[in-house]
Amino acid sequence: MNAFLEIRDVSKRFGAVTALSDVRLAIARAEFFSLLGPSGCGKTTLLRTIAGFEQPDEGTIFIDGADVTAMPPERRPTNMVFQSYAIFPHLNVFDNIAYGLRRLRLERAELERRVSEALAMVRLDGYGGRRSDTLSGGQRQRVALARALVRRPKVLLLDEPLGALDRRLREAMQRELRELQRNLGITFVLVTHDQEEALSMSDRIAVMSEGRVLQVDSPRALYERPASRIVAEFIGTMNLLEATVTEGAGSDAVCNVPGLGAIVVKDCALAAGERATLAIRPERLVISDGGRTSGTIVSSTYLGGRTHLLIALEGNGQPVAATIDSASGAGASPGARIKLDWEPDAFIALPD
Amino acid sequence: MSASAKLASMKPPGLFVYAILYLAFLYVPVLFLPLFSFNDSAFVSFPLAGFTLRWYRAMLADGALGEALANSLKVGAVAAISATLLGLAAARALTRYRLKGTSTVLGFVSLPLFIPDIVLGISLLILVNALSTPLSLSSVIFGHIVLCVPFALAVLLSRLEGFDPSLEEASRDLGETAWMTFLRVTLPLALPGIVASLLLAFIVSFDEFLIAYFLAGTDATLPIYIWGELRFPAKLPIVLALGAAILVVTCLLVLVAEWLRNLGRARTTPLAVGA
C-alpha cells in the first residue's frame, strides 16, 4: 500500500512506563483510520506524537513523503480536534476559527470567506459572532472541527471527539464526520475506546493494547477474524471454547470441543494433538430443532430487537452466549432445553 | 440547596452575635481614623471638637510627606511589576512542565511568607552590607520583591492551573509558535490574574514597614515617614488624615482586584458539556 502517513518503529517511554512500543503503521491518503483500545493503551500518546506534542524516543514519522519527526507541532501539516475541544474562551466563534489563519496574512474578505465556508461545512452558518461560552457541547465540537479543517490539513487528528456527547448526538455526529471525511478526502486518524464508533466509521482500525498494535484490519475483518484473544474479547462479545485438534489437514483442521463434537476450522495451521481455543460470535449460534448440540437456557436478557441468552451446554462446563432475534425466540425462557446449531465457517481458531 | 439549608439550621445559637462582635473588633478601631481626621482638635480624644478639613490641607502641604509617598509609589510599582513577572515565569514552569520536585520548589519560593519580616529585614541588610552597596530605594525594592514573589506566585498559580493546558496545545497545533501562543492565549487568559497579582504585590509593598526600615537609606517610604511623625503629637491628626486616605484607596484597589478575579473565573470556568 502507498503510505501517506507512515509511523515507522516508534517507541515512547514516560519514566518507567512504556507508552508506545515499536509501533508500525501505514495509513493511506484519504483513509478514515481509527486507533482503538482501552484507556492507557497508548492510542492518545500515538496521536499526540503524530501531532508533534510528544517526541518519540525512537522511530520516524512521515507525512506525504516528508519526515516530520523533528518538526514542532506548528509546522506539521496536521490539525487536531482535542478531547476537551480546547475552544479559546476569550475569542468568539469567528476568531476561534480564524485563529490558525493569521499567519497566512489573508485579506479580510478572503479570511471571512474561508471562515464562513468552514462554518457552513459543520452546519453552523451564522454562528460567527457567538461567544464561545454560549455554545452547547455539540456546537463546541463543530467549532473545534471547523477550526482544524479551515487550515486544510493533510491529516486531521481526532482525540475521542464524541466522548462527551450524548448518545443520539454522538450517532448523528458519527455519520456527519464520516460524510465530511469522504467529501473532503482528508486523511482522518481517530482515537476512540468505543468499539462501535470505530467499527461504524473507519476504513481500517488498529487495535492497541499496552503500547503495541495488535492488529490492523477493516472493521469486518477485525470482527469476523480477530487474530488474537485480546482483539476478540475487546471487540464485541466472543465465546471462547477450549478444544483439541484431532486432525490437521493442510490449511483446515478438525477440532473436538467437549459437548459440541467435531468442528472444522478453516485457514489455521494446527497439528493433530495440539490444544486450541475456538471462538464464535453469539449471533452465529442459532437455536434450531435440528441442532447439533443441546443445552439449557440459564438466563435471558431482552434488549429490544434482540435477546441475549446464556446457555449451559451439555458436556461442557463453559456456558456460551447467544444472541437471537427477539421475534423468533418466543419460547426462549430460562430453564428451557434447546438445540444449538451453527454454520460451517462460524468457528475460528485463536492462538493462545 | 436542601443540604445547605440543613446546615444553616444546625448552626449553634449565638453565632450571629459572635460574628457581629468579631466584625466590630476588626473595623471599629479602623473607623476612628477617618473620624478623628475630620476632628477640629490636635488631641485625639472624645468629645469631638467639630468638623475640619485642615488636617487634609496640612497633609497636602507637607513636602516630606509627598516625597515619602512618591518613594512608596515608586518602590511599590517596581516591586509589583518585578514580582509579577518572576511569579508568572515560575507559575508557568510549575503548571506546564513535568518538573521534578515541584512541591519543594513551591515550598522554597513561598518561604518568605513564613519567615518573620524582622528576620528577613536583618538578613537582607547583612547581605546588602556584605555586597557593600549603599542603602537606598533600590535595596528596599530588592527586599520587597523577595517579599512579594510568593504572593504573586500564589495568585498566578491558581490562575494558570485553572485553564485547560490543551488550549495552549491547540494554539501550537493551529500554527503559532510557543512565543505567539503565550501572547495570544496564555497572556489574555492569565490577564485577570496578572492584574490581581500586580495589585496585591503593590499593596504588600506599599504598607510594608520592617524590611523598608532596615533597607532604606535616607529616602523614607511612607510607612517609615509615618513612624517618624508619630513622635510629634501635634502631627498625629495629619497622620490620621493620611491613614484615612490610604484606607480608601486600598479598599478600592482590593475591590478592583477581587472584581477582576471573579470576572476571569466566570470566563474560563469550563462549561458543562452536553447537547
For the segment B164-178, what is each residue's pLDDT rounded down to a tens digit? 889 999 999 999 999
Q: Shortest CB distance from B175 goes to which of A89, A100, A169?
A: A100
Name the percent of chain B lying above pLDDT 70: 91
- The answer to whether the Cβ–Cβ distance between B170 and A88 falls below 8 Å is yes
Quote the pLDDT of residue B261: 67
The residue-averaged pLDDT of A146-156 equals 94
Buried b (16+ CB within 10 A) or exposed e, B29-38: eeeebbebbb
Mean pLDDT, chain B, integer? 83
CB-CB neighbors (< 8 A) of A17 in chain B: none
Write the CB contacts of A197 (distance below 8 Å, at least 6 apart in sequence).
Answer: A34, A162, A170, A174, A190
Q: Does B187 touch chain A (CB under 8 A)?
A: no
- The per-residue pLDDT for B10 is 63
| Average pLDDT value for chain A | 89
**Single-letter amino acid code for the residue at A1:** M
Q: Is the pLDDT assigned to residue A249 strictly greater than 80?
A: no
Determine whether A158 is exposed, middle or buried from the number of CB atoms within 10 Å of its CB (0-12, 13-18, 19+): buried
Quick one: cell of A343? 454454520
* CA nearest to B188 within chain A: A90
Instruction: Tell me if the bond preceding B47 is cis, omega within 30° of 0.
Output: yes
Grid coordinates given for A139: 456546537
Query: What pLDDT digit, counting tens, does each position of A21-31 carry?
Result: 999 999 999 99
* A·B CB contacts under 8 A: 87
ipTM over 0.90: no
- Beta-carbon separation of A138 and B188 below 8 A: no
Out of A72, A90, A169, name the one closest to residue B267 (CB). Answer: A90
In the predicted model, what is the mean pLDDT of residues B206-217?
86
| Contact assessment for residue A246 and residue A272, using Cβ atoms and an 8 Å cutoff | yes
What is the rounded distance in angstroms from the CA atom of residue B68 to the CA atom of residue B234?
Answer: 19
Which residue ranges make up each domain of chain B?
48-274
Question: Mutual orientation of helices B102-110 and B137-161 as an angle, nearest 10°?
Answer: 140
B170 and A82 within 8 Å at the Cβ level: the answer is yes
Do the Cβ atoms of B205 and B147 come closer than 8 Å? yes
Class of domain B48-274: mainly alpha
- B169 phi and psi angles, rounded to 5 deg: -65, -40
Q: Which residues of A touch B188 (CB under 8 A)?
A: 90
Nearest CA in chain B to A52: B173
Q: In this predicted structure, what is the pLDDT of residue B273?
A: 36
Indicate the DSSP class of residue A82: -
d(CA A302, CA B22): 65
Instruction: Tell me the per-residue pLDDT of B85-131, one tens digit each, with 9 for 90 and over.
Output: 999 998 888 887 777 778 888 888 888 888 888 888 898 889 888 88
Instruction: For residues B241-269, give the mean pLDDT.
Output: 75
The reported pLDDT for the residue numbered B270 is: 42
Contact residues, chain B, for A86 at CB < 8 Å: 164, 166-167, 169-170
**A103 Cα to chain B: minimum distance (Å):** 8
The reported pLDDT for the residue numbered A247 is 80
pLDDT band at B1 (very low <50, low <70, confident <90, very high): very low
